[in-house]
């Protein structure tokens, strides 16, 4: 199909499924300059989506602006595997991804960090991270096929993931339930859907970190994920490729997308917030920032 025909088809779909008006939908549809070959594939299992969303959320809050080699959440590739997903982790970040995800009680923080209820099995080249209370799980490997090191306890930490599967302490169980219930979040289905899609579309999410090797991501609460960047894709261009890959499909039409300004967009009613600075934040100092991020990984 020709490029303009594809753009027309997408524009029509956007008008049908999002609150975008015809002119805006057409403008966005023309900005899709990359296509991964197929739209995002969701897990049919809501508990699986909930776990994947939790993983994306914890990684976003954990890494913030400390990525290496342009891997926003430390993920290079995601491949659907039955109900689950197989993640190839950025090799230089893989150990750190495990450290962020596996739950531990942190006495300095005063609570549980990581994905409460997550447990690990398998071998160092292919780990299965699974939920202790359901069949939800993800498989992780290092993109270069190397071994992933399981984290050791830091000062003040108790490694909860080393407990027997199902052996959740009261703290950990409460924390796990907190994610499942998330009072105050209006639509948990949309949260789980969109955050799991961020995890399943690293080829698109990583575009924000590509120009400098890092971007910024964070969360305000259990219901959102913010991505901030400067160079590379404009907000509209990134929204366009996300929508072309079905990112906002099955989200109530009125909430699918809101273009706030040239520099900001909300997807799924502020579930995913995209902010791009109008000018470069780093310029020539970007390399120094990369060096300091690398130093942080060594310590
Ligand atoms: Zn920049």
Interatomic CA distance for residues 86 and 125, integer angstroms: 13
Give me the chain's average pLDDT, please.
96
Which residues span the domain enclosing 231?
Answer: 3-40+187-286
Question: Is the pLDDT assigned to residue 28 strictly greater than 90?
Answer: yes
Question: Is the pLDDT assigned to residue 167 strictly greater than 90?
Answer: no
Domain membership of residue 65 (yes or no) is no
The residue ranking higher by pLDDT, 204 or 182, is 204
**Domain final residue, candidates 153, 181, 209:** 181
**Domain final residue, candidates 181, 196, 212:** 181
140 shares its domain with 234: no
Q: Measure 282 CA to ligand 1 centroid, in angstroms.
A: 5
Question: Is the pLDDT assigned to residue 2 strictly greater than 90?
Answer: no
267 shares its domain with 233: yes
Residues with CB under 5 A from ligand 1 (ion): 230-231, 280
Q: Measure 276 CA to ligand 1 centroid, in angstroms.
A: 10
Question: Is the pLDDT assigned to residue 165 strictly greater than 80?
Answer: no
168 shares its domain with 249: no
139 shares its domain with 218: no
Domain membership of residue 298 (yes or no) is no
**Domain final residue, candidates 115, 146, 181:** 181
8 shares its domain with 80: no
Question: Is the pLDDT assigned to residue 266 strictly greater than 60?
Answer: yes
177 shares its domain with 199: no
33 shares its domain with 84: no
Q: Measure 129 CA to ligand 1 centroid, in angstroms.
A: 35
* pLDDT computed for residue 111 by the predictor: 94
Interatomic CA distance for residues 160 and 170, integer angstroms: 11
Burial class of residue 206, CB neighbours in 10 A (0-12, 13-18, 19+): buried
Query: Model confidence at 163, in pLDDT bands (50, 70, 90)?
Result: confident
Interatomic CA distance for residues 17 and 249, integer angstroms: 7
196 shares its domain with 281: yes
Average confidence (pLDDT) over 141-150: 98
* pLDDT computed for residue 241 by the predictor: 98
Question: Is the pLDDT assigned to residue 254 strictly greater than 90?
Answer: yes
Domain count, the chain: 2
177 shares its domain with 238: no
Q: Measure 281 CA to ligand 1 centroid, in angstroms.
A: 5
Q: Measure 78 CA to ligand 1 centroid, in angstroms.
A: 26
263 shares its domain with 230: yes
Average confidence (pLDDT) over 50-69: 98
Q: Measure 206 CA to ligand 1 centroid, in angstroms.
A: 14
Q: Measure 215 CA to ligand 1 centroid, in angstroms.
A: 9
Domain membership of residue 106 (yes or no) is yes
* pLDDT computed for residue 1 by the predictor: 56
* pLDDT computed for residue 166 by the predictor: 62
Average confidence (pLDDT) over 219-229: 97
């Amino acid at each position: 199909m020709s490029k303009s025909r594809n753009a027309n088809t997408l524009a029509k779909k956007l008008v049908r499924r999002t609150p975008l008006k015809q002119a805006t939908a057409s403008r966005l549809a023309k900005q899709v300059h990359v296509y991964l070959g197929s739209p995002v594939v969701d897990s049919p299992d809501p508990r699986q989506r909930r776990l994947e969303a939790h993983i994306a959320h914890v990684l976003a809050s954990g890494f913030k602006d400390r990525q290496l080699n342009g891997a926003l959440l430390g993920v290079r590739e995601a491949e659907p595997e039955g109900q689950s997903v197989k993640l190839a982790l950025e090799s230089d970040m893989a150990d750190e991804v495990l450290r962020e995800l596996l739950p531990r009680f942190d006495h300095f923080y005063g609570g549980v960090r990581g994905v409460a209820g997550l447990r690990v099995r398998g071998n160092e080249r292919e780990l299965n991270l699974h939920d202790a209370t359901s069949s939800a799980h993800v498989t992780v490997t290092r993109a270069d096929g190397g071994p992933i090191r399981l984290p050791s306890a830091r000062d003040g930490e108790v490694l909860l993931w080393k407990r027997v599967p199902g052996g959740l302490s009261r703290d950990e169980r409460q924390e796990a339930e907190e994610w499942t219930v998330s009072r105050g979040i209006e639509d948990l289905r949309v949260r789980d859907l969109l955050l799991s899609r961020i995890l399943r579309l690293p080829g698109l999410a990583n575009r924000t970190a590509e120009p400098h090797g890092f971007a910024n991501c964070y969360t305000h609460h259990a219901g959102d994920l913010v991505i901030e960047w400067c160079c590379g894709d404009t907000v509209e261009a990134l929204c366009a490729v996300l929508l072309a890959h079905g990112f906002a499909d099955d989200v109530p039409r009125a909430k699918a997308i809101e273009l706030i300004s040239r520099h900001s967009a909300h997807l799924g009613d502020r579930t995913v917030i995209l902010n791009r600075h109008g000018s470069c934040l780093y310029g020539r100092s970007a390399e120094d920032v990369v060096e300091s991020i690398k130093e942080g990984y060594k310590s």
